[in-house]
A and B are shown apart, each in its own frame.
Chain A
Amino acid sequence: MEIARSFGLMVPELILGGSALILLLVVAYGGRSVTRAVFIGSATAIGAALIFTVSTVTDNVTGAGAEAFGTQFSADSFAGYAKVLIYLAAMACLAIAPAFLKRFDALRGEYAVLVLLAVMGMGLMVSATDLIALYMGLELNSLAAYVLASFLRDDQRSAEAGLKYFILGALASGILLYGMSLIYGFTGTTSFDGIAAAISGEISTGALFGVIFMLVGLAFKISAVPFHMWTPDVYEGAPTPVTTFFATAPKVAAIALLSRVALDAFGDQVFAWRQVVIFAALASIVVGALGAIGQNNLKRLLAYSSINNAGFILIGLAAATVQGLSAMLVYLAIYVVMSLGSFVAVLMLRNGQGEQLETFDDIAGLSSTRPLMAWCLLILMFSLAGIPPLFGFWGKFVVFQAAVQADMVLLAAIGIAASVIGAFYYIKFIKVMFFDEPVDRATGKATPASWAILIGSAILVSPLAFLLARWLGNQADTAAASLFLG
């Protein structure tokens, strides 16, 4: 009965894994003619997994009732919240990919299957309550991501991005594994509950090393400074739909994973990891803001923006309270919408020959030639900068509020000061679009799916979204509470 109950708890993963296997066979036998069907099938599978996950978010599912296969997998509300974000982001990324890949003659069904498997890996990551399960999920996601990064294999930049991501990702995995082996060596168990029980009280130096190494490995995955070097290169080189994917779903998964490790396995050892997280948060905010200033390539700029945002998200984790975690989850949801919208906008910038436009020169005066796109971007950029009437402000507000409530006024103050630096390049974006001489390069022709996602995300971060703030906050509170109680 135990096994049946366990399978019952991981229905979303079973759906994703099963449909990935079936669709892989369909691709293998059907060839190019079934590609579109495979994309639709993958999106449907993710949608089905989404339906089965939603109920775990709204009900407060926590503790032993949510645990499957001993203590290896937990389908609690926290995992549910992260999974919903991941699934929605992944569906959006699947919707924008076919048109792009078709132009590069790389439209193959394997893309959708790899996304599906990556999503399954992310689901396992956010549900993992065991070191081995954590690593399995992480590798399933990462391996699929390496392949996706170099999916345009004839494009040198894409191949370079894949290789770079692979080598640095393998290094980070090695560091993470080393930390995990130290933790296992000093606690004698791989389950998070067991680790928390074994290292209660004074933490030994060896276990402390393990904690730090694990944090380093995970910081790489969320591209927090000082482990962010790969981000601009990989984001720039990877095909834009893949970059959109990288900036949204895997970020959510890695951050949820990091929170669970920090607050579940090492929840009693806050002092052991708090300094590291605070440093990474502030360094990410500052480096993300300063690094972006000199960039001319929009994808690189948005990569620095995602580093910057990772810093703000980590502030919520550094608070190490239920409010902090809940604020972090709210910020994460808003961040996913904002980065989805801005990357999709970059994806839609194409000239008459169908080539991608990626620099500031190409969007000069966009407001007079393509007003709708420019206004959507204006909302997204102001929101990323955290200008008050927009929803991005709310995310920053709750995070800083949580930090202040946790007696970390200095951290919040430095964070707010540094976010002003970040505002510079977001506003530069708007200045170039609205006040520079129009060049009229972008045609504005894009698929209905891209337009829908761009306009939808612009609406979701507009002042209207404050109507959702309470609802979103409640969901995040439930999710955060389930991690703390569980």
Chain B
Amino acid sequence: MIQTIAFYLFASIVIGSGVLTIMARNPVHSVLWLILAFFNAAGLMVLVGAEFLAMLLVVVYVGAVAVLFLFVVMMLDIDFAELRAGFMQNFPLGIAVAIVLLAEILFGLGAISAGPIELGTADGSATPVLGQSNIENIGALLYTHYAFLFEIAGMILLVAMVGAIVLTHREQKAVRGHQNISKQNQRSPDEAIVMRQPSIGQGIDL
């Protein structure tokens, strides 16, 4: 029973936060919703007994999203003063979200202890679980049965890397400005510093 409730809780929050990811006007909010979606997807993975994938999802995606988040913050012109102005206003909402996440953790822990979820009857044609840990199973399959596809994935990553370099790398034409010591030494304070006292409201000519 508790697994079913936990499943629907995780699933509906994944969908809800997924929708909000694309609906949010503020890119920073989008990223935060995305993180919520990933966390809940990880929760779903735990429910079906794939704890390794759950950890991978959190480590890789939430980690990668943190970088994405940094890029968004750095590259977009976001007015942080305005964002902070709403902080107190949104404080109750923030607390509510925190409580939801806490409840989820407790639910999840309770659900795991009650055993794995029954998602339906298997038709028996899938590869049976070998009774080892997730990591051992994945490793045993990935490097034997799926070795060919694993290598192809490597080629795809190579193409992505070559592509990124082809499209962005530019050969340096001019040598970058080196320090010219004699030029530095020849400068005197008289030429380098100009004192002005502009009247209020007037600019200065340089």
- A residues with a Cβ closer than 8 A to B are 6, 17, 21, 24, 68-70, 72-73, 108, 110, 113-114, 117, 120-121, 124, 130, 132-133, 136-137, 139-140, 143-144, 146-147, 150-151, 153, 162, 187-189, 194, 197-198
> Given the complex, which residues of B lie within 8 Å of A124, measured CB to CB?
152
Distance (Å) between the CB of A227 and the closest chain B CB? 21
Partner among A121, A136, A147 whose Cβ is within 8 Å of the Cβ of B149: A136
Residue of A nearest to B166 (CB): A110
Instruction: Tell me whether B145 is interfacial, beta carbon within 8 Å.
Output: yes
Dominant SS among interface residues on chain B: helix
CA distance A121 to B158 in the complex (A): 12
The number of chain B residues touching the other chain, given as a range, is 20 to 34
Q: A24-B162, A187-B125 are contacts. A136–B152 as well, Cβ < 8 Å?
A: yes
> Given the complex, which residues of B lie within 8 Å of A198, measured CB to CB?
123, 125
CA distance A144 to B157 in the complex (A): 11
CA distance A82 to B111 in the complex (A): 51
CA distance A16 to B152 in the complex (A): 12
Instruction: Say yes or no: A188 contacts B153, CB within 8 Å.
Output: no
Distance (Å) between the CB of A416 and the closest chain B CB? 42
Partner among B122, B125, B160, B167 whose Cβ is within 8 Å of the Cβ of A197: B125
- B117-128 vs A, CB cutoff 8 Å, 1 = contact: the mask equals 000001111100
Distance (Å) between the CB of B61 and the closest chain A CB? 16
Which among A132, A143, A150, A189 has the greatest number of chain B C-beta atoms within 10 A?
A143
Instruction: Tell me whether B148 is interfacial, beta carbon within 8 Å.
Output: yes
Instruction: Say yes or no: B148 contacts A194, CB within 8 Å.
Output: no
Instruction: Say yes or no: A143 contacts B156, CB within 8 Å.
Output: yes
> Given the complex, which residues of A lie within 8 Å of B123, measured CB to CB?
187-188, 198
CA distance A18 to B158 in the complex (A): 13
Residue of B nearest to A188 (CB): B126
Instruction: Say yes or no: A133 contacts B149, CB within 8 Å.
Output: yes
Residue of B nearest to A10 (CB): B148
Partner among B125, B158, B163, B166 whose Cβ is within 8 Å of the Cβ of A194: B125
> Given the complex, which residues of B lie within 8 Å of A121, measured CB to CB?
155
Distance (Å) between the CB of A391 and the closest chain B CB? 36
CA distance A69 to B146 in the complex (A): 8
3 closest Cβ pairs, A-B complex: A147-B163, A188-B126, A136-B152
Instruction: Tell me whether B159 is interfacial, beta carbon within 8 Å.
Output: yes
Residue of A nearest to B122 (CB): A188
CA distance A213 to B103 in the complex (A): 36
Partner among B146, B155, B165 whose Cβ is within 8 Å of the Cβ of A17: B155
> Given the complex, which residues of B lie within 8 Å of A162, measured CB to CB?
167
- Pick 16 A–B contacts, CB within 8 A, sort by A: A21-B158, A24-B158, A68-B148, A69-B147, A70-B145, A72-B146, A110-B162, A110-B165, A117-B155, A133-B148, A147-B159, A187-B125, A188-B122, A188-B125, A189-B126, A194-B125
Partner among B122, B126, B149 whose Cβ is within 8 Å of the Cβ of A72: B149
Distance (Å) between the CB of B133 and the closest chain A CB? 22
Residue of A nearest to B164 (CB): A147
Instruction: Say yes or no: A140 contacts B159, CB within 8 Å.
Output: yes
CA distance A212 to B144 in the complex (A): 32
Partner among B156, B162, B165 whose Cβ is within 8 Å of the Cβ of A139: B156
> Given the complex, which residues of B lie within 8 Å of A133, measured CB to CB?
148-149, 152
